Protein backbone atom coordinates (compact mmCIF):
# COMPACT_ATOMS: atom_id res chain seq x y z
CA UNK A 1 0.00 0.00 0.00
CA UNK A 2 2.89 2.31 0.80
CA UNK A 3 4.30 2.09 -2.69
CA UNK A 4 0.91 2.46 -4.25
CA UNK A 5 0.27 5.61 -2.24
CA UNK A 6 3.63 6.97 -3.18
CA UNK A 7 2.91 6.34 -6.84
CA UNK A 8 -0.42 8.11 -6.56
CA UNK A 9 1.14 11.19 -5.12
CA UNK A 10 3.80 11.12 -7.77
CA UNK A 11 1.29 10.88 -10.55
CA UNK A 12 -0.70 13.77 -9.19
CA UNK A 13 2.40 15.79 -8.67
CA UNK A 14 3.49 15.23 -12.22
CA UNK A 15 0.03 16.20 -13.40
CA UNK A 16 0.24 19.37 -11.39
CA UNK A 17 3.55 20.28 -12.87
CA UNK A 18 2.11 19.88 -16.31
CA UNK A 19 -1.00 21.88 -15.53
CA UNK A 20 0.89 24.71 -13.94
CA UNK A 21 3.56 24.78 -16.57
CA UNK A 22 1.01 25.42 -19.27
CA UNK A 23 -0.77 28.17 -17.35
CA UNK A 24 2.05 29.50 -15.29
CA UNK A 25 1.42 33.05 -16.27
CA UNK A 26 -2.10 33.00 -14.83
CA UNK A 27 -1.53 31.70 -11.29
CA UNK A 28 0.45 32.81 -8.32
CA UNK A 29 1.55 30.46 -5.56
CA UNK A 30 -1.73 30.81 -3.64
CA UNK A 31 -3.74 29.76 -6.68
CA UNK A 32 -1.53 26.75 -7.18
CA UNK A 33 -2.35 25.54 -3.72
CA UNK A 34 -6.10 25.79 -4.39
CA UNK A 35 -5.82 23.84 -7.65
CA UNK A 36 -3.78 21.21 -5.86
CA UNK A 37 -6.51 20.67 -3.24
CA UNK A 38 -9.33 20.49 -5.80
CA UNK A 39 -7.70 17.83 -7.88
CA UNK A 40 -6.61 15.72 -4.94
CA UNK A 41 -10.07 15.76 -3.42
CA UNK A 42 -11.78 14.68 -6.63
CA UNK A 43 -9.38 11.91 -7.55
CA UNK A 44 -10.82 8.41 -7.23
CA UNK A 45 -8.35 5.56 -6.67
CA UNK A 46 -8.39 2.68 -9.12
CA UNK A 47 -10.71 -0.14 -8.14
CA UNK A 48 -13.09 2.07 -6.24
CA UNK A 49 -16.41 3.52 -7.27
CA UNK A 50 -17.66 7.03 -6.94
CA UNK A 51 -21.10 8.55 -7.29
CA UNK A 52 -21.63 11.36 -9.73
CA UNK A 53 -24.82 13.40 -9.57
CA UNK A 54 -26.20 14.71 -12.82
CA UNK A 55 -28.62 17.52 -12.13
CA UNK A 56 -31.50 18.60 -14.28
CA UNK A 57 -30.68 22.29 -13.92
CA UNK A 58 -28.98 24.03 -15.43
CA UNK A 59 -28.79 21.86 -18.49
CA UNK A 60 -27.63 18.64 -16.90
CA UNK A 61 -24.71 19.94 -14.86
CA UNK A 62 -22.22 17.26 -13.86
CA UNK A 63 -19.46 16.92 -11.36
CA UNK A 64 -15.97 16.75 -12.71
CA UNK A 65 -14.35 13.39 -12.04
CA UNK A 66 -10.69 12.53 -12.12
CA UNK A 67 -9.07 9.15 -11.59
CA UNK A 68 -5.77 8.71 -9.83
CA UNK A 69 -3.68 6.27 -11.85
CA UNK A 70 -0.62 4.94 -10.02
CA UNK A 71 2.61 5.30 -11.88
CA UNK A 72 3.22 2.33 -14.15
CA UNK A 73 -0.47 1.26 -14.33
CA UNK A 74 -3.13 1.86 -16.93
CA UNK A 75 -6.91 1.98 -16.91
CA UNK A 76 -8.27 -1.02 -18.84
CA UNK A 77 -11.97 -0.94 -18.02
CA UNK A 78 -14.43 1.50 -16.55
CA UNK A 79 -18.07 0.66 -15.79
CA UNK A 80 -20.83 3.21 -15.44
CA UNK A 81 -24.25 2.55 -13.92
CA UNK A 82 -27.01 5.11 -14.11
CA UNK A 83 -29.88 5.33 -11.66
CA UNK A 84 -32.79 7.79 -11.51
CA UNK A 85 -32.81 10.05 -8.51
CA UNK A 86 -35.87 11.85 -7.21
CA UNK A 87 -35.55 15.58 -6.95
CA UNK A 88 -35.63 16.79 -3.38
CA UNK A 89 -38.26 19.37 -4.31
CA UNK A 90 -40.87 19.34 -7.02
CA UNK A 91 -40.28 21.66 -9.91
CA UNK A 92 -43.90 21.38 -11.02
CA UNK A 93 -46.26 24.28 -10.75
CA UNK A 94 -49.85 23.50 -9.85
CA UNK A 95 -52.97 25.58 -9.91
CA UNK A 96 -54.35 24.74 -6.50
CA UNK A 97 -54.83 27.97 -4.56
CA UNK A 98 -57.74 30.33 -4.53
CA UNK A 99 -55.63 33.00 -6.19
CA UNK A 100 -54.78 30.63 -9.04
CA UNK A 101 -58.39 30.12 -9.93
CA UNK A 102 -59.54 33.66 -9.36
CA UNK A 103 -56.87 35.24 -11.56
CA UNK A 104 -58.24 35.28 -15.04
CA UNK A 105 -58.48 37.60 -17.96
CA UNK A 106 -61.44 35.69 -19.28
CA UNK A 107 -64.07 34.31 -17.03
CA UNK A 108 -67.28 33.15 -18.58
CA UNK A 109 -69.61 30.26 -17.79
CA UNK A 110 -67.18 28.72 -15.32
CA UNK A 111 -67.78 28.01 -11.66
CA UNK A 112 -64.62 28.76 -9.69
CA UNK A 113 -64.74 27.50 -6.14
CA UNK A 114 -61.13 28.36 -5.16
CA UNK A 115 -59.89 24.77 -5.39
CA UNK A 116 -61.05 23.77 -8.85
CA UNK A 117 -63.20 24.98 -11.63
CA UNK A 118 -66.07 23.53 -13.56
CA UNK A 119 -68.46 24.57 -16.25
CA UNK A 120 -71.69 26.04 -15.00
CA UNK A 121 -74.47 23.52 -15.58
CA UNK A 122 -77.26 24.43 -17.87
CA UNK A 123 -80.68 25.36 -16.58
CA UNK A 124 -83.41 22.75 -16.71
CA UNK A 125 -86.86 23.72 -17.90
CA UNK A 126 -90.09 22.13 -19.07
CA UNK A 127 -92.73 24.11 -20.93
CA UNK A 128 -94.79 21.21 -22.40
CA UNK A 129 -94.61 22.86 -25.82
CA UNK A 130 -93.66 19.54 -27.42
CA UNK A 131 -97.09 18.21 -26.51
CA UNK A 132 -95.83 15.14 -24.67
CA UNK A 133 -94.18 14.14 -21.42
CA UNK A 134 -90.55 13.03 -21.74
CA UNK A 135 -89.11 9.91 -20.07
CA UNK A 136 -88.25 11.89 -16.95
CA UNK A 137 -91.96 12.17 -16.17
CA UNK A 138 -94.17 9.49 -14.64
CA UNK A 139 -97.95 9.58 -14.40
CA UNK A 140 -100.13 8.02 -11.73
CA UNK A 141 -103.56 7.96 -10.15
CA UNK A 142 -106.92 7.01 -11.58
CA UNK A 143 -106.61 9.48 -14.46
CA UNK A 144 -103.44 10.78 -16.05
CA UNK A 145 -102.28 14.36 -16.35
CA UNK A 146 -102.33 15.51 -19.97
CA UNK A 147 -100.99 18.36 -22.11
CA UNK A 148 -103.65 20.58 -23.63
CA UNK A 149 -104.18 23.89 -25.42
CA UNK A 150 -107.57 24.89 -24.02
CA UNK A 151 -106.36 26.69 -20.93
CA UNK A 152 -102.77 27.85 -21.35
CA UNK A 153 -100.57 29.43 -18.68
CA UNK A 154 -97.57 30.04 -20.95
CA UNK A 155 -96.73 29.43 -24.59
CA UNK A 156 -99.30 27.35 -26.44
CA UNK A 157 -99.51 24.19 -24.32
CA UNK A 158 -99.91 23.54 -20.60
CA UNK A 159 -100.10 20.42 -18.41
CA UNK A 160 -103.51 19.76 -16.85
CA UNK A 161 -104.56 17.36 -14.11
CA UNK A 162 -106.52 14.26 -15.08
CA UNK A 163 -110.24 14.12 -14.47
CA UNK A 164 -111.02 12.54 -11.10
CA UNK A 165 -113.89 12.05 -8.68
CA UNK A 166 -114.21 12.37 -4.91
CA UNK A 167 -111.45 10.77 -2.83
CA UNK A 168 -109.28 10.29 -5.91
CA UNK A 169 -106.00 11.79 -7.02
CA UNK A 170 -104.01 12.23 -10.23
CA UNK A 171 -100.23 12.41 -9.98
CA UNK A 172 -97.44 13.87 -12.10
CA UNK A 173 -93.86 13.15 -10.96
CA UNK A 174 -90.61 14.53 -12.36
CA UNK A 175 -87.34 12.64 -11.90
CA UNK A 176 -84.73 15.19 -10.79
CA UNK A 177 -82.20 12.69 -9.45
CA UNK A 178 -79.51 13.82 -11.91
CA UNK A 179 -79.98 17.50 -11.23
CA UNK A 180 -77.74 19.21 -8.67
CA UNK A 181 -78.93 21.43 -5.87
CA UNK A 182 -80.78 24.44 -7.10
CA UNK A 183 -83.78 26.68 -6.97
CA UNK A 184 -86.90 26.24 -9.00
CA UNK A 185 -90.18 27.79 -9.94
CA UNK A 186 -93.33 26.94 -11.89
CA UNK A 187 -96.62 28.48 -12.92
CA UNK A 188 -99.80 27.05 -11.43
CA UNK A 189 -103.53 27.59 -11.63
CA UNK A 190 -106.30 25.92 -9.65
CA UNK A 191 -110.10 25.96 -9.92
CA UNK A 192 -111.51 23.75 -7.19
CA UNK A 193 -113.53 23.49 -4.00
CA UNK A 194 -111.79 25.90 -1.66
CA UNK A 195 -110.28 24.26 1.39
CA UNK A 196 -110.91 20.67 0.23
CA UNK A 197 -109.78 19.85 -3.32
CA UNK A 198 -106.12 20.68 -3.72
CA UNK A 199 -103.27 21.03 -6.14
CA UNK A 200 -100.43 19.61 -4.05
CA UNK A 201 -96.71 20.12 -4.67
CA UNK A 202 -94.32 17.68 -2.96
CA UNK A 203 -90.50 17.61 -2.96
CA UNK A 204 -89.02 14.13 -2.65
CA UNK A 205 -92.28 12.64 -1.42
CA UNK A 206 -94.30 11.04 -4.27
CA UNK A 207 -96.72 9.53 -1.76
CA UNK A 208 -97.76 12.80 -0.20
CA UNK A 209 -101.50 13.48 0.13
CA UNK A 210 -103.81 16.49 0.05
CA UNK A 211 -103.51 16.73 3.82
CA UNK A 212 -99.97 15.58 4.66
CA UNK A 213 -96.42 15.36 3.39
CA UNK A 214 -96.68 18.22 0.93
CA UNK A 215 -94.51 21.31 0.57
CA UNK A 216 -97.28 23.54 -0.73
CA UNK A 217 -100.95 23.21 -1.71
CA UNK A 218 -103.59 25.41 -3.29
CA UNK A 219 -107.40 25.19 -3.47
CA UNK A 220 -110.23 27.45 -4.62
CA UNK A 221 -109.67 29.79 -7.54
CA UNK A 222 -106.06 30.90 -7.59
CA UNK A 223 -102.97 31.10 -9.77
CA UNK A 224 -99.38 32.33 -9.56
CA UNK A 225 -95.72 31.45 -9.62
CA UNK A 226 -94.35 29.18 -6.92
CA UNK A 227 -90.66 29.17 -6.08
CA UNK A 228 -88.81 26.47 -4.17
CA UNK A 229 -85.34 25.21 -3.36
CA UNK A 230 -84.10 21.67 -3.54
CA UNK A 231 -80.99 19.96 -2.22
CA UNK A 232 -78.55 17.89 -4.21
CA UNK A 233 -80.09 14.61 -3.06
CA UNK A 234 -83.66 15.34 -4.08
CA UNK A 235 -84.97 12.58 -6.37
CA UNK A 236 -88.46 13.68 -7.36
CA UNK A 237 -90.84 16.60 -7.67
CA UNK A 238 -94.54 15.67 -7.58
CA UNK A 239 -97.70 17.53 -8.48
CA UNK A 240 -101.08 16.08 -7.54
CA UNK A 241 -104.66 17.10 -7.85
CA UNK A 242 -106.43 15.41 -4.95
CA UNK A 243 -110.08 15.65 -3.87
CA UNK A 244 -111.92 15.03 -0.65
CA UNK A 245 -115.13 13.01 -0.31
CA UNK A 246 -117.72 15.40 -1.71
CA UNK A 247 -118.50 18.60 -3.60
CA UNK A 248 -116.98 19.75 -6.88
CA UNK A 249 -116.40 23.44 -7.59
CA UNK A 250 -115.20 25.56 -10.53
CA UNK A 251 -113.38 23.68 -13.28
CA UNK A 252 -112.47 21.04 -10.66
CA UNK A 253 -108.89 20.74 -11.89
CA UNK A 254 -105.38 22.28 -11.86
CA UNK A 255 -102.70 23.32 -14.39
CA UNK A 256 -98.93 23.79 -14.26
CA UNK A 257 -96.43 25.16 -16.80
CA UNK A 258 -92.91 26.58 -17.24
CA UNK A 259 -91.07 24.55 -14.61
CA UNK A 260 -87.53 25.85 -14.28
CA UNK A 261 -84.68 24.62 -12.08
CA UNK A 262 -81.57 26.76 -11.80
CA UNK A 263 -78.49 25.14 -10.23
CA UNK A 264 -77.04 26.76 -7.13
CA UNK A 265 -74.23 29.05 -8.24
CA UNK A 266 -75.92 29.97 -11.47
CA UNK A 267 -76.49 28.46 -14.86
CA UNK A 268 -74.50 28.70 -18.06
CA UNK A 269 -75.00 27.61 -21.63
CA UNK A 270 -72.68 24.63 -21.39
CA UNK A 271 -69.68 26.56 -22.66
CA UNK A 272 -67.08 28.13 -20.41
CA UNK A 273 -63.81 29.99 -20.74
CA UNK A 274 -61.11 30.41 -18.15
CA UNK A 275 -57.56 31.65 -18.63
CA UNK A 276 -54.99 30.38 -16.17
CA UNK A 277 -52.32 32.49 -14.51
CA UNK A 278 -49.25 32.70 -16.71
CA UNK A 279 -46.82 29.82 -16.33
CA UNK A 280 -43.75 28.62 -18.13
CA UNK A 281 -39.98 28.81 -18.36
CA UNK A 282 -39.56 32.49 -17.68
CA UNK A 283 -41.52 32.64 -14.46
CA UNK A 284 -39.65 31.97 -11.23
CA UNK A 285 -40.95 29.06 -9.24
CA UNK A 286 -43.22 27.84 -11.99
CA UNK A 287 -41.26 24.98 -13.38
CA UNK A 288 -37.65 24.84 -14.33
CA UNK A 289 -36.29 27.78 -16.30
CA UNK A 290 -36.00 25.66 -19.40
CA UNK A 291 -37.66 25.69 -22.73
CA UNK A 292 -39.94 22.72 -22.27
CA UNK A 293 -42.11 20.97 -19.72
CA UNK A 294 -44.92 18.53 -19.26
CA UNK A 295 -48.43 19.78 -18.63
CA UNK A 296 -51.07 17.64 -17.01
CA UNK A 297 -54.67 18.59 -16.38
CA UNK A 298 -56.68 16.71 -13.80
CA UNK A 299 -59.98 17.03 -15.60
CA UNK A 300 -63.19 15.07 -15.43
CA UNK A 301 -65.01 15.19 -18.75
CA UNK A 302 -68.49 13.61 -18.75
CA UNK A 303 -69.22 11.34 -21.68
CA UNK A 304 -71.69 13.78 -23.19
CA UNK A 305 -69.35 16.75 -22.82
CA UNK A 306 -66.48 18.13 -24.83
CA UNK A 307 -63.31 19.62 -23.37
CA UNK A 308 -61.11 21.85 -25.46
CA UNK A 309 -58.21 24.09 -24.55
CA UNK A 310 -55.75 26.45 -26.17
CA UNK A 311 -52.27 27.45 -25.14
CA UNK A 312 -51.61 31.18 -25.35
CA UNK A 313 -48.44 33.18 -25.51
CA UNK A 314 -48.70 35.17 -22.28
CA UNK A 315 -46.89 38.12 -23.82
CA UNK A 316 -49.56 38.78 -26.43
CA UNK A 317 -52.46 36.39 -25.65
CA UNK A 318 -52.18 34.85 -29.09
CA UNK A 319 -52.72 31.13 -29.47
CA UNK A 320 -49.46 29.32 -30.03
CA UNK A 321 -49.43 27.56 -33.41
CA UNK A 322 -50.36 23.92 -32.98
CA UNK A 323 -51.94 24.46 -29.59
CA UNK A 324 -55.55 25.30 -30.41
CA UNK A 325 -58.68 23.22 -29.99
CA UNK A 326 -56.83 20.50 -28.07
CA UNK A 327 -58.80 17.79 -26.28
CA UNK A 328 -56.02 15.81 -24.56
CA UNK A 329 -55.50 16.30 -20.83
CA UNK A 330 -51.73 15.96 -20.87
CA UNK A 331 -49.12 17.24 -23.24
CA UNK A 332 -45.37 17.35 -23.59
CA UNK A 333 -44.63 20.98 -24.28
CA1 LIG B 1 -96.25 25.93 -22.00
CA1 LIG C 1 -114.38 18.34 -2.91
Same domain, 170 and 251: yes
Is the preceding omega at residue 324 within 30 degrees of 0, hence cis? no
Distance 257 CA to ligand 1 centre (A): 5
- Structure confidence by residue, pLDDT tens digits, 153-181: 999 999 999 999 999 999 999 999 989 89
Residue 74 within any structural domain of the chain: no
User: Can you list the alpha helix ranges (DSSP code H) found in 54-201?
Assistant: 98-102
Nearest ligand to the CA of 147 is 1
Structural domain for 24, as ranges: 2-68
How high is the mean pLDDT of the chain?
A: 79
The CA–CA distances, whole Å, from 113 to 18, 56, 95, 105, 118 equal 68, 35, 13, 17, 9
Same domain, 258 and 196: yes
Distance 246 CA to ligand 2 centre (A): 5
Query: Please, which pLDDT band fits residue 287 given cuts at 50, 70 and 90?
Result: very low
- Structure confidence by residue, pLDDT tens digits, 7-25: 333 333 222 222 222 233 3
Residue 79 within any structural domain of the chain: no
Nearest ligand to the CA of 196 is 2
Residue 251 within any structural domain of the chain: yes
Residues whose CB falls within 8 Å of the CB of residue 114, separated by 6 or more in sequence, listed in order: 97, 98, 101, 102
- From the list 208, 262, 264, 263, the residue with the least C-alpha distance to 240 is 208
- From the list 146, 173, 169, 174, the residue with the least C-alpha distance to 241 is 169
Distance 170 CA to ligand 1 centre (A): 20
The structural domain count of the chain equals: 3
Average pLDDT over residues 225-230: 97
Same domain, 101 and 217: no
Which residues fall inside 5 Å of ion ligand 2, going by CB? Answer: 193, 196-197, 243-244, 247
Amino acid sequence: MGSAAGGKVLAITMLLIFAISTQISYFDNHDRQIIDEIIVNQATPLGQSTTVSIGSYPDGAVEKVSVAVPDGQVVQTMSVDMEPSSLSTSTAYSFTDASDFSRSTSFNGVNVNTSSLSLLPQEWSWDFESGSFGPEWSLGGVSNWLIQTTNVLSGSQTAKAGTISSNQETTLTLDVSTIPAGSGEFLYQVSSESGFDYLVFCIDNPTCTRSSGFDQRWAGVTSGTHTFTMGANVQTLTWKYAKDGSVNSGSDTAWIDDITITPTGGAGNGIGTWVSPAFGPSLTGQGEPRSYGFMYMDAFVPVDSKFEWNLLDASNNHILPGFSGLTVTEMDL
